[in-house]
Amino acid sequence: MNKILGKGRETGQIIPIVVVGLLVILMLSAVIVDGGSIISNRRTAQAAADAAALAGAKKLCLGDTTADRTAARNAALQYVTANGAVFASEPTFSTVTLSGHEVPGITVRTSVTNGSFFARVMGQSDLTGGATATAGCYHPSVTVHLIPLAFFYNSPPVNAGKANCSTNGTCDLVNYDFTSLMTQLISTPATNQPLDDIYIIMNEIKICEKSVSGAIVCSEMAKNASGGNRAWIDLSKVADMSNIKKIFKEGIEKPLYLPSWLNGEPGVVASVYDNKAYEDLPPIEDYESTPYRLVLVPVFDNYCDSGDPENDCPSAWNEGDSVEYIVNSNQQSYRLVGLAPFLITCVTKNGKADFGQEITTGSNKNKCPGYVALNPDKKMDAIEGYFVTGTPLDQFAQGTGGVSAGLDIVSLIH
């Protein structure tokens, strides 16, 4: 008779299988739970890095100085903290390529950490997700309705009553809310315009300064960066300078990146003061019946009498400035920092209103109100109006309450 031997030895063989199965389940749980936590941390870290890089890049729109980088770092930290992350390392700064141009950039590295659940069994107590984002600041490639002149950002308006002027003659450009200003201009006659905040761009009076007594003192153009120094600028590197009226109406042809130095262009372009130049510009959307037009005015914050700004005007030079648009280094040049939206309300030609909202009664009939308020001692050509914010001119255009003067666009690079 055959006997089955060893039957009792099979008892308990299922235990190793159960143990292995439990380990597999534990490992899968760690992967699912803790892995998901890591993915969540990485997503949070990426959102923080993106927001921080954009905030930091915005601070680099004015330049790439030590002060600019400090401001960029602090702005980035605010967004990192607000998104529940921390700096994995201090932000770094370098030149980046945006829209085919080398511009200042910032790289932010972030991390988010929380405790693990199943991974603790394998000695992993913390789960960290990290991310990196780089962003830079640049300006639109081209723009239309650009007046080819340099306007000093500390220029006082006619009466300087609301321009935050100091006793040394410096003022901040006044910025009206566009819609509120339009409502006011439409509902009041020309003589009741807010003349304290009106600006004048004239063909002969080039420098206007606020004296200690509060009066506005104007003089002929001189090689001086103080006051409201205004000069035509040489745009030959980005446009055809043989037809400045076309530049004004149709814009520049190649990119103009700021902050940059541009030469001054001597002479007066009389065609810019002709009514035809403004009548040909498209009316303002929703305000087609008003005699106003929107343009962009290049704003500068410093000046170099002659020579290379970096070497010959060190007090005016800022790290990160561009000199690629300078045509003649032996000529005066202006440091453009932005393009400010400007609402033209009236244009004077030979002392009389040629376009816009003019005075219709009294001894100053057929004259522009700002021109009358300035009370020049001879007949001149002039453009007057207001620097404004919130305009429909360009979705990127920003007003200028100081040096930061517009068309700054920040973009991520991944």
What is the SS3 assignment for 279-309? HCCCCECCECCCCCEEEEEEEEEEEECCCCH
Are 46 and 76 in the same domain?
A: yes
pLDDT of residue 385: 93
pLDDT value at residue 345? 95
Same domain, 243 and 286: yes
Of 136, 167, 200, which one is at a domain's C-terminal end?
Answer: 136
pLDDT exceeding 90 applies to what percent of the chain?
18
Q: 212 in helix, strand or coil? A: coil
Which residues constitute the domain of residue 47?
Answer: 14-136
Tell whether 102 and 163 lie within a shared domain: no
Residues 185 and 231 in one domain: yes
Please name the residue that has the structure tokens 């704003």. 299
Angle between helices 66-82 and 35-59 (to 10 degrees): 150
Residue 144 lies in a domain: no
Residue 24 lies in a domain: yes
Domain-located, residue 9: no
Average pLDDT score over the chain: 76
Q: Are residues 324 and 217 in the same domain?
A: yes
Cis-peptide into 16, omega within 30 deg: no
Report if residue 192 sits inside a domain.
yes
Q: How many domains does the chain have?
A: 2
pLDDT at 358: 92
The strands making up 101-115's β-sheet, listed across from edge to edge, are 86-98, 101-115, 126-138, 409-413
Among 84, 111, 136, residue at a domain's last position = 136
Residue 7 in domain = no
Pairing of strands 293-304, 260-265: unpaired
Same domain as 322, residue 180: yes
The answer on 190 and 85 residing in a single domain is no
Q: What's the whole-model pTM score?
A: 0.64
- Residues 359-375, mean pLDDT to the nearest whole number: 88
- Greater confidence (28 vs 350) lies with 350
* 4 found inside a domain: no
Percent of the chain past pLDDT 70, that is, above it, reads 69
DSSP state of 173: P
pLDDT at 157 over 80: no
User: Residue 227 has what pLDDT?
Assistant: 40
Q: What's the rounded mean pLDDT across residues 307-314?
A: 87
- Domain end (from 74, 103, 136): 136
pLDDT confidence band for 222 (50 / 70 / 90): very low
